[in-house]
């Protein structure tokens, strides 16, 4: 094969035709690519600024910026190829088929991704909250796109897929500034109920972490099988919940001992019947 090309044999008209056929489309394709790339960056940055103003998590901001940039650049590349005369219909079909295949194979992962976006946008909890979600409870340490990291009360790290969290009930114990402590205190049927109520009121009033408003509630809850049960329901700040719960239970038991008030506990009476052989 002769690789020597005789440029002298090409006329001016032929050169013009070549430029029109290949040069101008190539220039336009380059222009489309450059302008499209600049536009993709500007649009992704615009989305980022809008999300930041909406106080959306930084992780989601970066994800949306990257996703918008990649999506726009895909259209830009297809437009540039189309300007060069390349049939982009087949490329679009291949991309769509590949996207469908990837979506089916990563169905669970994409579900966790969507759940992560929902958690970041709607904010059912924040870092530092104590929550019960996905069948476990603990303190939220990090909210990621695919999973959420928690720390259990005994300092174990728990990683939960976001889909498991949004698919169930979420209980946020830290969402409100105050919480109510629900205690059920049982006393014997022979005890003086008015004295019991007076002692409970005094113990509650002596705990400085109990809030005056809402006012604590002390009432007779039920007449049980072996005890008279009082409902003791004081309000505390959320951060003081567990220390106050422990202190109140200990203080009530010690005070009942001093006042001679009994706290029934399950017991069984066994009657032995002796028979005399005939």
pLDDT in tens, 196-207: 999 999 999 999
Contact 216, 235 (CB under 8 A): yes
Paired with 210 in beta bridges are 236
Contact 35, 63 (CB under 8 A): no
- Vertex 126: Cα angle to 120 and 131 (nearest 5): 115
123-173 per-position pLDDT tens digit: 888 889 999 998 899 999 988 778 899 999 999 999 999 889 988 899 999
Measured distance CA(207)–CA(192) in Å, rounded: 23
Query: What is the C-alpha radius of gyration for the chain, rounded to an integer number of angstroms?
Result: 36
This model's pTM is above 0.75: no
């Amino acid at each position: 094969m002769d690789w020597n090309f005789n440029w002298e044999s090409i006329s001016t008209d032929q050169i013009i035709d070549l430029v029109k056929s290949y040069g101008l489309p190539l220039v336009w394709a380059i222009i489309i690519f450059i302008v499209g790339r600049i536009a993709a960056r500007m649009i992704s940055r615009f989305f980022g600024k809008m999300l930041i103003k909406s106080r959306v998590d930084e992780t989601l901001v970066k994800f949306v910026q990257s996703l918008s940039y990649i999506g726009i650049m895909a259209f830009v590349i297809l437009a540039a190829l189309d300007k060069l005369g390349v049939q982009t219909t087949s490329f679009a079909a291949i991309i769509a088929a590949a996207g469908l295949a990837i979506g089916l194979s990563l169905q669970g992962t994409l579900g966790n991704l969507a759940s992560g976006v929902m958690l970041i946008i709607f904010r059912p909890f924040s870092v530092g909250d104590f929550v019960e979600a996905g069948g476990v409870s603990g303190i939220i340490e990090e909210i990621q796109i695919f999973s959420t990291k928690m720390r259990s009360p005994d300092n174990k790290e728990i990683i939960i897929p976001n889909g498991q969290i949004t698919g169930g009930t979420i209980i946020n114990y830290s969402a409100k500034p105050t919480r109510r402590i629900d205690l059920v205190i049982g006393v014997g049927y022979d005890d003086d109920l008015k004295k019991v109520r007076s002692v409970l009121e005094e113990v509650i009033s002596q705990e400085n972490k109990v809030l005056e408003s809402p006012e604590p509630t002390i009432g007779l809850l039920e007449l049980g099988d072996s005890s008279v049960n009082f409902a003791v329901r004081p309000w505390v700040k959320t951060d003081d919940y567990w220390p106050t719960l422990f202190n109140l239970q200990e203080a009530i038991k010690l005070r009942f001992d001093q006042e001679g008030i009994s706290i029934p506990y399950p017991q069984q009476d066994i009657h032995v019947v002796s028979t005399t052989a005939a």
